[in-house]
Structure 1
Amino acid sequence: MQAPTQADLLTLLGTGLAVVSTAGRVTWINPALGELLDVGPRTAPGQDLTALMRNPALAAQLDRVALERRAYNLRAVTFGVARGRELTADLILQPLDDGSILVEVHPLAPELAAASAGTPLSATLRGFAHEVKNPLAGLRGAAQLLERRVVDKDLRQLAAMVIAEADRLAALADGLLRHGGAPRLGPVNLHELLERLEGLVVAEANAPRVRHDFDPSLPDTLGDADRLLQVLLNLTRNAGEAGASMLTLRTRVEHGARVGERTVRAALRVDVIDDGPGVPDDLRDTLFQPLVSGRPDGTGLGLALSREIALEHGGDLRYTSRQGETVFSLYLPMERPHD
C-alpha cells in the first residue's frame, strides 16, 4: 500500500486550510475549509479569499504577511460562512517559501467567541498568566536571596524593587485567572502612580530621561492602581524600545472629552509623550490589535492589554504620532457610569 503524501494528509485534516497568492487569490483549499465556506475545492482556486470569507479587512493582513515574510496570529476574526451564517475563528497566516501564504482557520466555540467579542484578550491572557506564574515565583525567590546577602544599600533597594514588581505581576496574573478577571477598584492618585512609574523607568538599563508636566488640581480617580500602572508601564517601555531619549508624563482634565462612542462631561487624561521615531505607517490601523507587534521579538499583547484595561475602567486609550513626537493618551472619565 502506498504511503499517503503530505498533500493527502493536508487534505484529510479537519483544520480548515487554504493557500493564497500574494494577490490574495486562492490556489488551493482543503475540504474542511471548503465545507465551512460552502465552496468546492475545484471552484475555489482563482477566487479572492477575502470575498469568499466576506471579510475585506483580511486583505490588509495578507498584504502585511506577504511584505514582511513572517507569520501572524489573528484572534477572534469574524467572517461569513455557508448559507449566510457567520463564524468567529483564530487565523494563522504563514508565509511559504514560494511566496504564497498558508491560511489556517481554527473556529472558536460559541462561548469563547462571545467572550472574545467583549474582551478580545481574555482567553489569551489567562493562558499567558498560567505560563508566567512559575517563572515569577523563581524570580522573586532569587531576588529575596540577593536582598539578604548583599551588603550594598543600593543593591538591596534594587532587589526589593524586583520583589515588589514580581508581586505586582503575580497579582495581575491572579486577577486574570479569577473568573472574569474583574478589576479591584479603589481611590487612585494618578500623580503618586506616575511617581511610582518613574522609579521603575529610571531603574531600567538605557532608560530615557523623564520629565513632568502635571496639573496639580487633578482629583483622585476610581480604578485598579496595579492595572493602570501596567498600562503606563507598557507605554513607557514601548517608547524606550522604539529609541526614545526623553519621556514627558503629562496630566490634564479635559472637558467634553470623547471616550469611545460617547462624550463625557470631563475626563482625566494622562499623556505619555516620547521623542522617538513615531509609529510605522503599516502599524497605525492595527496597533491595538492582539498579537500584532512591530518588533520581531514582540508578543503583541502590551498595547492590546493596555487598551482593554482602559475600556474596563470606562475610559479609552488613543494615540497621535509623527516623527519626533508620539503621544499616547489614557482617558478616565471623572463621572462613573452609575452617576
Structure 2
Amino acid sequence: METMPWRSLAEQMATGLALVDADLRVQWHNAALAEWLELGLRSAIGVPLAGLVATPELAQQAARALAEQRLLQVRGVGLGGATGGTRRLDVTLQPFDADHLLLEVHALAELPAVASPLSATLRGFAHEVKNPLAGLRGAAQLLQRRLHDDDLKALAAMVLAETDRLTTLANRLLHHDGAPRLGAVNPHALLERLVELLRAESPPPILRHDYDPSLPDVHGDADRLQQILLNLARNAIEAGARTLTLRTRAEHGIRVGERVLRSALRIDVIDDGPGVPAELRETLFEPLVSGRADGSGLGLALSREIAHEHGGELRYASRPGETTFSLYLPLERTHG
C-alpha cells in the first residue's frame, strides 16, 4: 500500500476519503476528511474507525464489507469533530483490495447548487493533465512538420486542436473559481466533433445518429460539454461496445434536484456493450469508482459535475447489450 497511483488526485478531492486496513484502523485520509474531522491532515492515521464515529454500526458494516468484499452504504453516520460536535453524514464502504477498505464520506443534504463554484476534483484533474498535454502538443507539432501525407497531416492537426482545447479547459479550471465560459452551443456541432474524433480511433466504432434537427442551441461552455461526450463515448468503447448511437431530443418537465426544467435538451449516448455491473450501479458517479482494473474512476464523476454546473443532469439506464447515458441541459437560460 506504499504507492497509490490515484493518491495525488484523491488528496485534492472535495469528497472525504479514508483508507482503513483489516483491523479497521485508518491508514490514509485526504484533506477533505481531515477538515470535516477538524483535525490535522495526518492526525487520524492509526486511529480505529470506531474512534472517529458516533455510530457503532459503521465499524460493524465496515467489517462486513471487507469480509464479503461488497460495497455497502450507511446513511446518517455521526462523525465526530475535534471540537466535540457531530455531523450526520452518509458513508460508502468500498473494498479496495482483500485487506483494505475505502470510505467515501458525503454530507446528508448538502448537495451543491447547480452552477456552483468548481470543486477540488476538477481542479486536481486539471493540474494532473497539464504536463502530459504539453508533451503531446510538442510531439504532434513535430509530426505535422515531418509528414507529407495529407491524411496523416489532418490527424496530427486533430491532435493539436484537441490538445489546445484540453489545455484551455485545464487553465480555466485552475483559475480561482473555475467559472465556465458560457455562450450559445450547437449540440449537433458537439456531436459531429465527437464523431470526427471517434473515427480516428483504431479500430473506430460503428457510429449511428438520430438527431432532432429542430433543436435550438443551449447555453453552456462548449469545451466542458465536449468533454462529457468524449468521456461517455470512450467509457463505452473501453467497456467493449462496438456500436454507438448518438441521439438528441427535447424533453419537458424534467426534475433536476429541487428544480423542474420546463424544457430541456437530452443527448443520449447509447452503446451495445455488456452493461454496468450490478455492484457499481449505486455508486457509478462517485470518484474512484470504476469497472476496469486500469480505470481512474474520475471520468463519470467529472462529467456529472460539469452537467450540474450547467444546471443539468447526467443519468443512465443499463442492461446487457444496451446502455444509455443521457445528458440533460436546460433549454431556458438558468440563473445562478
Equivalent position of 1:63 in the other structure: 65
Task: Give me the identity figure in percent.
Answer: 59
Output the CA distance in 2 between the equivalents of 1:264 and 1:61.
43
- Given that residues 93 and 102 in structure 2 are in contact (C-alpha distance below 8 angstroms), is that contact kept between their aligned partners in structure 1? yes
Structure 1 residues 100-151: Cα deviation after superposition (integer angstroms, max 9, x where no partner): 436789x9xxxxxxx9967797223323322321221111111111111110
**1:311: Cα distance to partner?**
0.5
TM-score (norm 2): 0.74
Query: Does the 8 Å CA contact 1:133/1:170 hold for their aligned counterparts?
Result: yes
Query: Which structure is richer in relative contact order (CA contacts within 8 A, separation 6 or more)?
Result: 2
Structure 2: runs of 5+ lacking an equivalent: 1-17, 28-32, 39-46
CA distance in structure 1 between the partners assigned to 2:187 and 2:225 by the alignment = 9
Cα shift at 1:90: 11
Quote the residue 1:200 is aligned against: 197
Match of 1:311 in 2: 308
**1:264 alignment partner in structure 2:** 261
CA contact (8 A) 2:50 2:56 kept: no
Q: State whether residues 70 and 94 of structure 2, in contact with CA within 8 Å, keep that contact through their aligned partners in structure 1.
A: no
1:36-51 correspondence runs (5 A): none
Q: Deviations over 1:228-283 (max 9, x none)?
A: 00000000000001111110000000111222332221101000001111000010
1:159 corresponds to 2:156:
yes
Local SS of the residue matching 1:179:
coil
Determine if the alignment matches structure 1 residue 142 to structure 2 residue 144: no
Is the 1:53–1:81 contact (alpha carbons within 8 Å) kept by the matching residues of 2? no
Which residue, out of 319, 324, 327, partners 1:327? 324
Instruction: Give yes or no for the alignment of 1:184 onto 2:185.
Output: no
- Provide the C-alpha distance between the structure 2 equivalents of 1:20 and 1:223, rounded to a whole number of angstroms: 46
Q: Give distance in 1, aligned partners of 2:103 and 2:208.
A: 47
Pairs within 5 Å for 1:1-339: 19-20=21-22, 26=24, 52-53=54-55, 59=61, 63=65, 67=69, 79-81=78-80, 83-86=84-87, 100-101=99-100, 122-338=119-335
Which SS does the other structure have where 2:158 is aligned? helix
The alpha carbon displacement at 1:48 in A equals 7.0
CA contact 2:50–2:58 (8 Å) conserved in 1: no
Deviations 1:263-315 (CA, angstroms, capped at 9, x unpaired): 22110100000111100001000000112111111111100000011000000
Moved more, 49-58 or 230-239: 49-58
Long gaps (5+) in structure 1: 1-15, 38-43, 70-76, 108-114
Give TM-score, length-normalised by structure 1: 0.73
Q: Take 1:81 and 1:258, find their aligned partners in 2: how far apart are those partners?
A: 34
Distance in 1 separating the partners of 2:57 and 2:216: 44
In the TM superposition, residue 89 of structure 1 has moved relative to its aligned partner by 12
Cα distance between partner residues in 2 of 1:249 and 1:209: 11
RMSD: 4.1
User: Deviation above 3 Å: which 4+ runs of structure 1?
Assistant: 16-21, 47-62, 87-96, 99-105, 115-121
Shift of 1:52: 4.3
The Cα shift of 1:179 comes to 1.1
Q: Deviations over 1:28-57 (max 9, x none)?
A: 689xx9xx79xxxxxx98x97897457869
For 2:177, what is the secondary structure of its paired residue?
helix
Q: Secondary structure at the match of 1:194?
A: helix
3-state SS, counterpart of residue 318 of structure 1: strand
Question: 8 Å contact 2:62–2:93 — kept in the other structure?
Answer: no
Cα distance change of structure 1 residues 217 and 298 upon mapping to structure 2, 3 Å threshold: same
